[in-house]
Chains A and B, each alone.
Chain A
Amino acid sequence: MSLLEYTEFFGDTILDLTIKHILLFGVSFIGASILGVAIGVVSYRFSGLRFLTPVVNILQATPEIVLLAISIPFLGIGYVGALVPLFIKGILPIMQNTTSGLAGVDPNIKEAARGMGMSELTVLLRVELINAAPVILAGMRVSAVMLVSVITLTAYIGVESLGTLILQGIARMDANPLLIGSGLSAILAIAVNQAIVIVENLAMRRVGVRS
Chain B
Amino acid sequence: MTSTAIEFNAVLKTFRDGEKPAVDRVDLAIEAGTTTALIGPSGCGKTTSLKMINRLVEPTSGEILIDGRAIRDMPVLQLRRSLGYVIQHVGLFPHMTIARNIAVVPQLLGWDRKRITERVDALLDLVGLDPDEYRQRRPSQLSGGQQQRVGVARALAADPPILLMDEPFGALDPITRANLQREITDIQRKLRKTIVIVTHDMDEAVKLADRIVVMEHGRVVQTAPPADLLLRPATPFVASLLGEDRIIKLLQTTPVERLSELGAEVEAQSPTIGLEASMHHALTVFLQTGAAQLSVENAKGVSVGALRREVMFEFASSEQRNASCA
Binding site for B on A (CB under 8 A): 106, 108-109, 111-119, 122, 127, 130-131, 206-209
Cross-chain contact A208 with B80 (CB below 8 angstroms)? no
A69 CA to B315 CA, complexed, in Å = 92
Binding site for A on B (CB under 8 A): 51, 54, 56, 77-81, 85, 87-95, 104-105, 108, 138-140, 154
A41 CA to B11 CA, complexed, in Å = 35
Partner of A208, one of B77, B85, B90, B95: B95
Cross-chain contact B94 with A117 (CB below 8 angstroms)? no
Q: Across the interface, which residues of B come within 8 angstroms of A131, CB to CB?
A: 93-95
Cross-chain contact B94 with A208 (CB below 8 angstroms)? yes
Cross-chain contact B89 with A113 (CB below 8 angstroms)? no
Shortest C-beta distance, B53 to chain A (Å), equals: 10
Shortest C-beta distance, A163 to chain B (Å), equals: 40
Partner of A114, one of B80, B89, B90, B154: B80
A113 CA to B95 CA, complexed, in Å = 13
A208 with B140, Cβ < 8 A, contacts A113-B93, A114-B56, A115-B87 known: yes
A116 with B138, Cβ < 8 A, contacts A108-B89, A108-B90, A208-B95 known: no
A118 CA to B109 CA, complexed, in Å = 10
A116 with B95, Cβ < 8 A, contacts A108-B87, A208-B138, A208-B139 known: no
Cross-chain contact A115 with B54 (CB below 8 angstroms)? yes
- Nearest first, the 10 A-B pairs at minimum CB distance are A117-B80, A112-B91, A108-B91, A117-B81, A208-B94, A208-B140, A115-B85, A108-B89, A207-B95, A117-B77
A111 with B77, Cβ < 8 A, contacts A116-B104, A117-B105 known: no
- Indicate the member of A112, A118, A119, A130 with the most B CB atoms within 10 Å: A112
* 28 intermolecular pairs with C-beta atoms under 8 Å apart: A108-B89, A108-B90, A108-B91, A109-B94, A111-B87, A111-B91, A112-B85, A112-B92, A112-B93, A113-B93, A114-B56, A115-B54, A115-B56, A115-B85, A115-B87, A116-B85, A117-B78, A117-B79, A117-B108, A118-B77, A118-B108, A122-B108, A130-B95, A131-B93, A131-B94, A207-B94, A208-B94, A208-B139
A112 CA to B166 CA, complexed, in Å = 11
Cross-chain contact A116 with B81 (CB below 8 angstroms)? yes
Shortest C-beta distance, B47 to chain A (Å), equals: 10
Shortest C-beta distance, B297 to chain A (Å), equals: 47
Q: Across the interface, which residues of B come within 8 angstroms of A115, CB to CB?
A: 51, 54, 56, 80, 85, 87
Q: Across the interface, which residues of B come within 8 angstroms of A122, CB to CB?
A: 108
Q: Across the interface, which residues of B come within 8 angstroms of A114, CB to CB?
A: 56, 80
Nearest opposing residue in chain A for B50, CB measure: A115
Nearest opposing residue in chain B for A203, CB measure: B95
Q: Across the interface, which residues of B come within 8 angstroms of A207, CB to CB?
A: 94-95
Cross-chain contact A206 with B95 (CB below 8 angstroms)? yes
Q: Across the interface, which residues of B come within 8 angstroms of A109, CB to CB?
A: 91-94
Nearest opposing residue in chain A for B101, CB measure: A112
Q: Across the interface, which residues of B come within 8 angstroms of A209, CB to CB?
A: 94
